[in-house]
Structure 1
């Protein structure tokens, strides 16, 4: 957990994680006095944290009504995935060009953890390892600007993540795609790594679109 200079949990990081994990739901009001008590801090720190999260697109402030968790529309989620595809494809190429043998070992280890999670039917675990693999690729690439933008975009997509993982047949396809990404990076092949990442995220986008369409059909 991120901490402040006084070794206390960073209110912004705690609130961000609470929103990402569903502790605070879309449209839920975020009352400063209640948050201050929950976080064990003062309203000034809460106000500052809410301002930062508003810049990240997780919170929206309304005149005379305070702050609430921003609702990410289905259309916006798909648009965010399209932007993410461009950024992560760039990062995959750079990771392939910069990765060391130690980096290769870490990527392969995470990939094995993903395989183990599937064998154990641990979808939550698979999702976590998936996120760690992408984070490791960002770290290897050393592209700070793209990594910063992706961190902001990905935080807005968390509530849609399980819709793709749980889509019939998707988790095994996902593992094959991540295997190709890791193989390309470990081979030092930037072109192949970029294409593998682009293909992977194009499939994620397509799967999310199908999942949302099916959900809309059920609501009719």
Structure 2
């Protein structure tokens, strides 16, 4: 074995934990868009070295969650209205494809799992906790991606997921949005249960369009 290629396991684990912790803090809204981040303070809060923090920030920059500005340092990425439209346009096409393929290709067990996750999402204790609600909704989409049978579409949706999660937090702040979301997802799952790929695809696209409309309204407000 080439010793030069060996990665210290403890150091790798620290970098991964630092990245995961920072990612979760951003997705949970602990850090706001545009907020500047101090490497020194992050080192103290995470109890890791500056090199670990820098590598975590670089990783999150690649995910679009962090922007590193020359001579100013890192800050939480602010997404413009045009970027929101671009992200959701891509998401609408990918989710439409995923919905159609899931309806046509998913196993009965996967369809049951999708319905069960939607039922969980509708539970009062989940709906009342924003962080839990976003986690369960992400799990709903994980099932959809896994059962759609298109690895490329699934990978692209997962790459978008972190930025979409930030925007979902904004969208869900609109009064009545969560109740409407449950109705929209229920219609999608019903179409999938009926193996109606065309309807599932159309409803997925409509759901994403309503989500982007809510995000843009919240940003304007």
Please show how residues 128-207 of structure 1 align to structure 2 within 5 Å.
128-207=135-214
1:53-202 superposed matches below 5 A: 53-117=60-124, 122=128, 124=130, 125-202=132-209
* Other-structure match for 1:18: 25
- Out of 39, 49, 56, the position equivalent to 2:56 is 49
Shift of 1:59: 1.1
- What is the DSSP-based 3-state SS (H/G/I as helix, E as strand, rest coil) of the residue aligned with 1:188? coil
In structure 1, C-alpha distance between the alignment counterparts of 2:210 and 2:128, rounded to whole Å: 21
Alpha-carbon distance in structure 1 between the residues aligned to 2:147 and 2:31: 32
Structure 2 CA distance for partners of 1:159 and 1:10, relative to 1, 3 Å: same
What are structure 2's unaligned runs of at least 5 residues? Answer: 1-7
Mark the runs of 5 or more structure 1 residues left unpaired by the alignment: 216-220
Most deviating of 49-58 and 73-82: 73-82
CA contact (8 A) 1:107 1:133 kept: yes
Q: 1:171 to 1:69 in 2, by over 3 A?
A: closer
| Alpha-carbon distance in structure 2 between the residues aligned to 1:75 and 1:208 | 12
Following superposition, the deviation at residue 65 of structure 1 comes to 2.3
Residue 218 of structure 1: aligned partner: none
Q: How many residues are paired up?
A: 210
| Aligned counterparts of 2:163 and 2:85: Cα–Cα separation in 1 | 11
- Please state how far the C-alpha of 1:85 moved relative to its aligned partner: 0.7
Deviation at 1:137, TM superposition (A): 0.6
TM-score, normalised to structure 2's length? 0.81
Q: CA RMSD in A?
A: 2.6
Q: Which moved more, 1:6-15 or 1:195-204?
A: 6-15
TM-score (norm 1): 0.81
Q: SS state of the match for residue 61, structure 1?
A: strand
